[in-house]
Amino acid sequence: MATNKRWFWLGDDVALREALGAHFAVPAASVPLSQAVRGDCVVIAAQAVGADVPTGHAFGAVRACKDAGQRVYVVVAEGDRAGVQLARFCLADGVLVWNATSRVLVADELLATPAPRRNAVDALLAKLEPQLGSARGESSLQRLLRFEREDTLLNRLQDPETGLFDGPYATLKLDEEWKRAHRFHQPLSLLLLDLGLGERVSDSERRQVLAEAAGVFLNECRDIDVLARFAPTVFLFLLPGTGPEGADVLAKRILAALRGRLPVAVGAPACGLCSVPSSEVPDRRAFLAIAEACLRRAAASGGGVCSSWQ
């Protein structure tokens, strides 16, 4: 039985709704989702669409509910591997599996307590205490900020114009994530994005575009994703645990956000995408080469997302 008694349901399957009610031990809330508050639980069918679903589709609704502070679970049909990947990519708190024929609901993740995404500040300070020092009259927050300012190694890994990681560090992380994905048999996607900055863009405009773009990237990506400036106008995104469907969703979302924030004169941003596991990608070099080939193809087509290099 789930710990949160108040829950909302977005979907049309009556039998599924009843099965969920048995797990929660109470029926779904009778009020509309607009009355949900922080801490409430929302369960969304992967196929849910319509006016009652925030943003009009299930996976956009996940993000909207998460932003509102609600716990969100997605129900996918048994065997729907893409639905599971998309739900996890959108940061749902859990994925439930429904067999419509047998009317069996696998809801183990409904009972699980999600792990915290970051260590508490006090725990972090305790680990760093030997390095932080103890200047008289200096608060814990001041010590932490001073430690960050003095962390010259991190500064050396950052691109000064965007604050993102630089190309050499991205290459190192690419090798690391490639090995991890193969060792644990997990999907990994590589996205290359070219802003399409033309030669007529002034230096001040270029700096503004880079800052705006970095803001979009940081807003759209997860904490576990690796973001780096790979070349003067090309950015690299490493997406652990993300297959081609989830990576395509992110790429299109980033392009839409960029079109809304960047000047029209900048040009058409283009994305090249490659995902593993794939029989076409035997090693890390091919992984990067295919993403670059897809990027060139997307740029030659006037922008957008390309995941086919042939």
Give all strands of the β-sheet with 41-45 in edge-to-edge order. 7-10, 41-45, 71-77, 94-99, 104-106
In angstroms, the CA 176 to CA 180 distance is: 6
| Structure-token pair, residue 172 | 């190192």
Least confident of 97-106, 124-133, 258-267, 296-305: 124-133
Asked whether the predicted pLDDT for residue 275 surpasses 90, the reply is yes
Residues 6+ apart with CB under 8 A from 96: 43, 73, 74, 75, 76, 105, 106, 107, 109, 110
What is the average pLDDT value for the chain, to the nearest integer? 80
What separation in angstroms does the CA of 21 have from each of 27, 78, 285? 5, 19, 50
Asked whether the predicted pLDDT for residue 160 surpasses 90, the reply is no
Mean pLDDT on 145-151: 50
Asked whether the predicted pLDDT for residue 137 surpasses 90, the reply is no
The topology under which CATH files domain 161-306 is Alpha-Beta Plaits (3.30.70)
Instruction: Report the predicted TM-score, pTM, of the whole model to 2 decimal places.
Output: 0.53
**Architecture of the 7-111 domain:** 3-Layer(aba) Sandwich (3.40)
> 165: which DSSP letter?
B
Domain ranges for the chain? 7-111, 121-150, 161-306
Asked whether the predicted pLDDT for residue 63 surpasses 70, the reply is yes
| Structure-token pair, residue 232 | 């003067």
Asked whether the predicted pLDDT for residue 4 surpasses 80, the reply is no
Mean pLDDT on 78-91: 75
Mean pLDDT on 226-230: 90
Strands 94-99 and 104-106 come out as antiparallel
**Selected residue with higher pLDDT from 267 and 293:** 293
